Amino acid sequence: MRMKKRTSSLIILKRMARNKGAIFGLIVVLLIVFVAIFAPVIAPKDPYKQDLLASLEPPSWKHPFGTDVFGRDVLSRVIYGARTSLSISSLAVLIAFILGATVGTIAGYFGGVLDEVLMRILDVLMAFPDILLAIAIVAALGPGKINLVVAIAIYSFPQFARVMRASALTIKSSEYVEAAKAIGESNLSIMVRYVLPNALAPLLVQATLRMATAVLTISGLSFLGLGVKPPEAEWGTDLAMARVYLEIAPHLGIFPGLALFITVLGFNLFGDGLNDALNPRLKDR
């Protein structure tokens, strides 16, 4: 058994190594996570310290990304913006992962009326575009980090539940699950010990891809004034302020926009590569 797991892991690593896009995405994700964790050490300036005498300075040795209208260092705000975006999106995706895995496991394992009711509820949630549902939730609850987490978790968990349900429908008819039932193992034990662990691969792929969507949503809602509140450093908030000064200080929009673009691209490329590597239908060549 241990040899099989080791062989399977090697095959996955080989597939990932052959996918240049996935490797690039992984490097980007690791770099962004590193920057977010060590933001206080990496940032050259205090992202909230104002210097009105240095307002709207272009990029220079002193301020590599320039300064904003309040004289704050744009590079430091971009670095701290990574911490804000990743902390909110990670918590939201984790909640959606747990909630979706739970609902999907229950629906797929038990089936019947319970499955129909749960799936119809998910259909209603999935009928709305992600960003519109997030706007409606945040507009009802009010702007703020906690409400952003709630909004992203609510519109994300149906995707996890769908993926988990599909896996549970297949796994529950497998021989080892039938054997567990035959020896009198409880349904809860079967779901926790057999169904959920064997469905982790597609859930991890979904989590990686949902991180990209979550980061975009956070910036989009902050841009509209429904997300992170100023003066906290966040890419969408900084882009909202930059649009007023784009003609005289284009650097205000270029660097936060690039950070957002590269982060989303990295998560998407890594997620696609991970999906290809974990797909059992692909034959190793």
Residue 137 has which token pair? 């939730």
The residue written with tokens 């699950």 in the block is: 177
Distance in angstroms (rounded) separating the CA atoms of residues 269 and 276: 11
Neighbours of 244 (CB within 10 A): 12
Residue 50 domain flag: no
Q: How far apart (Å, rounded) are the C-alpha atoms in residues 28 and 62? A: 26
Residue 194 Cα distances to 5, 110, 171, angstroms:
16, 14, 8
Q: Would residue 127 count as lying in a domain? A: yes
Helices 2-18 and 251-278 pack at an angle, to 10 degrees, of 140
Cross-strand partners of 67:
73
Which pTM does this prediction carry? 0.89
Is residue 263 in some structural domain?
A: yes
- Separation between Cα atoms, residue 91 and residue 285, nearest integer Å: 38
Q: Is 36 left (phi over 0), alpha (psi -120 to 50) or beta?
A: alpha
- Give me 47's structure tokens: 């992202």
Question: pLDDT tens track of the chain, all 285 residues?
Answer: 444 445 566 766 777 777 888 899 999 999 999 999 999 999 999 999 999 998 999 999 999 999 999 999 999 999 999 999 999 999 999 999 999 999 999 999 898 899 899 999 999 989 988 889 999 999 898 888 999 999 999 999 999 999 999 988 888 888 888 888 888 888 888 888 888 888 888 899 999 999 999 999 999 999 999 999 888 999 999 999 999 998 899 999 999 999 999 999 999 999 988 888 776 555 444
CA dihedral 243, 29, 264, 85 (to 10 degrees): -50
Task: Confirm whether 49 is domain-assigned.
Answer: no
6 belongs to a structural domain = no
Distance CA 93, CA 218 (A): 12
Instruction: Please report which helix (H) or strand (E) contains residue 193, including its range.
Output: none
Do residues 219 and 234 touch, judged by C-beta distance below 8 A?
yes
Is 224 inside any structural domain? yes
**Number of compact structural domains in the chain:** 1
CATH number at residue 152: 1.10.3720.10
Which of 261, 275, 265 lies closest to 27, judged by CA?
Answer: 265
Rounded to 5 degrees, φ, ψ at 67 are -130, 160
Q: Which amino acid is at 271?
A: G
Residue numbers of the domain that contains 199: 22-35+63-278
Instruction: List phi, psi (to 5°) of 48.
Output: -110, 0
Q: Is residue 58 part of a domain?
A: no
Two tokens, residue 134: 């997030």
Q: How far apart are CA 258 and CA 167, in angstroms?
A: 37
Does the residue 15 lie in any domain? no
Residue 155 φ/ψ region, left for φ over 0, alpha for ψ in the -120 to 50 degree band, beta for the rest = alpha
